[in-house]
Structure 1
Amino acid sequence: MDIHRAQQILAADDKIEVELHGLPVWIDSVDSKLATAKVHSEENPADTRTVSVQELEEVR
């Protein structure tokens, strides 16, 4: 995923499904300078991590 799409998903009113290595995640924030996103697992909101937006995949 590119940085612009990650920002669009973060700002969207509707839920857009995103996966990190096949696991569903929610995007909490996007750092456009570092091209990273802070995400958490949908199953475990306490499981937060910062990853490259390129690792994220939109589920269509």
Structure 2
Amino acid sequence: MNVHRAQEILAAEEKIDVECSGVAVWIDSVDSGKGLVKIHAEQNPSDARVVPAQELEEVQ
């Protein structure tokens, strides 16, 4: 996924499913300058980390 799409998903009113390495995640914030996205696992909010936007995949 690119940074722009991550920003769109973050701003969306509806829930858009996103995965990182096969794990369902929520996007918390996007650093477009660095291409990084702060995420946390849907089932484990304490599992927060920062990953490159390219590691995220929108689930259709």
| TM-score bracket for the superposition, by shorter chain length | over 0.9
| SS at structure 1 position matched to 2:45 | coil
- Which stretches of structure 1, 4 residues or longer, exceed 4 Å deviation after superposition? none
TM-score scaled by length of structure 1: 0.99
Which position in structure 2 is the counterpart of 1:21?
A: 21
Residues 10-49 of structure 1 mapped to structure 2, 5 A cutoff: 10-49=10-49
CA RMSD of aligned residues (A): 0.3
TM-score scaled by length of structure 2: 0.99
Which position in structure 1 is the counterpart of 2:58?
A: 58
Unaligned runs of 5+ in 1: none
C-alpha distance after superposition, 1:6-52 (max 9, x if no partner): 00000000000000011000000000010000000000001100000
Unaligned runs of 5+ in 2: none
